[in-house]
Amino acid sequence: MSNTNFALAVEDLTVSFDGFKAIDNLTLYIDKNELRVIIGPNGAGKTTLLDLICGKTKASGGSIKFKNEELTALDEHIRVRRGIGRKFQTPSIYENLSVFQNLEVSFPSGRSVFGALGFKCTDEVKARVQVVAEEIGLAEVLDKEAGLLSHGQKQWLEIGMLLMQEPELLMLDEPIAGMSARERELTADLLQRICKNRSVIVIEHDMEFVKQIAHKVTVMHQGKILAEGSMETVQADPKVIDVYLGH
Ligand code: ADP
C-alpha cells in the first residue's frame, strides 16, 4: 500500500521487451527533497526505470504515483507539466543562442525558438531566468553563446533549462560524465542546492561521487532492487559486492 508522504511511489512496476522483463515487479519510494542515486551493472534496468517514470516508455504493469496522483497512463508531455523533469546524457542545448535565450525559451509559456521574432521577454520570464542562472552558476555568462561554454557549463545549462519548467522531481543520467574534477565538485554542490526544494534521482557509476551526493542508494540488478540504504550499508552488502562493486 502507498505511503502518501512520498513524493514518488512506484509500485509493482513491470515492463517487458519481447518477453524479456527489463523491469520486474519493482517497488520504489522517493521522499520529498530526497537525492536518491541508482547504481547497478550495465543492463540492470536503471535507464528503463527512468524512462518509465518520465513516460518515454509505457509500463506493462504496476503503478507510478507522483504527489499521490497516478501517472502511469499519462503521456510524457503531460508528466512534464505535472512536475517531472528528465535530463539525458547528451546535452540538447541551442548552441547558437545565448545562455539567457536558452533559459528563456525553456520557460513553459515562453516564445518558441522557431518563431515569434520581436516578442518581448516579460519581466516574469526575465526574473525566472535570473533565479535559475544563479542556481546553476551561470549568472555571469548570460550573454555568452551556449556553444562556447565548457562541457560542464553546457550540462548545467541543460539542468537550468529543466529548472525553468519548475519540476518537483528531476532525473539525471550520469550528470558528471566527461567533467573535470572542479566541474564534478560544482555539480555536487548544484545537486545539493536543487534537492533543497525538489526530489532528485541520479543514475551514477562513479562511486566517489555517489558517496558525496546520495541521501540513499538503490542498487538494481536484472530489473529488480538488489539492495537499498545508505552508501555504507549497500557497499558492505555481499550481494552488491558480488554483482557490482566487486568487479
Ligand atoms: P541500464 O541503464 O541499467 O544499463 P537499461 O535500462 O538500459 O539498463 O536496459 C535494461 C535491459 O533492457 C537491457 O537488457 C536492455 O538491452 C533492455 N532494453 C532496454 N530498452 C529496450 C528496448 N527498447 N527494447 C528491447 N530491450 C530493451
Q: Considering only CA atoms, which residue is closest to atom 25 of ligand 1?
A: 17
Contact between residue 58 and residue 110 where contact means Cβ atoms under 8 Å apart: no
Q: Kindly give the distance from the C-alpha atom of residue 37 to the centroid of ligand 1, in angstroms, as a whole number.
A: 18
Measured distance CA(122)–CA(213) in Å, rounded:
36
ipTM for the assembly? 0.97
Mean pLDDT of 45-58: 96
Q: Kindly give the distance from the C-alpha atom of residue 113 to the centroid of ligand 1, in angstroms, as a whole number.
A: 33
Percent of the chain surpassing pLDDT 70: 92
pLDDT at 3 over 70: no
Q: Kindly give the distance from the C-alpha atom of residue 48 to the centroid of ligand 1, in angstroms, as a whole number.
A: 6
Domains and CATH numbers, the chain: 1-83+169-181+200-247 (3.40.50.300), 91-166 (no CATH)
Cβ–ligand 1 distance for 44 under 6 Å, the answer: yes
Cell for 109? 509559456
Mean pLDDT of 7-35: 96
Mean pLDDT of 175-184: 94
Distant-in-sequence, close-in-space partners of 145: CB < 8 Å, separation ≥ 6 = 95, 96, 97, 98
pLDDT score for 111: 43
Measured distance CA(74)–CA(66) in Å, rounded:
12
Cβ–ligand 1 distance for 15 under 6 Å, the answer: no
Confidence of residue 118 (pLDDT cuts 50, 70, 90): very low
DSSP states along 144-182 = SBGGGS-HHHHHHHHHHHHHTT--SEEEEESTTTT--HH
Give the model confidence (pLDDT) of 25-48 as tens digits.
Answer: 999 999 999 999 999 999 999 999
Q: Kindly give the distance from the C-alpha atom of residue 12 to the centroid of ligand 1, in angstroms, as a whole number.
A: 18
Residue bearing the bigger pLDDT, 245 or 54: 54
Mean pLDDT of 146-171: 95
SS3 210: helix
Ligand 1 atom with least separation from CA of 41: 3
Confidence of residue 2 (pLDDT cuts 50, 70, 90): very low
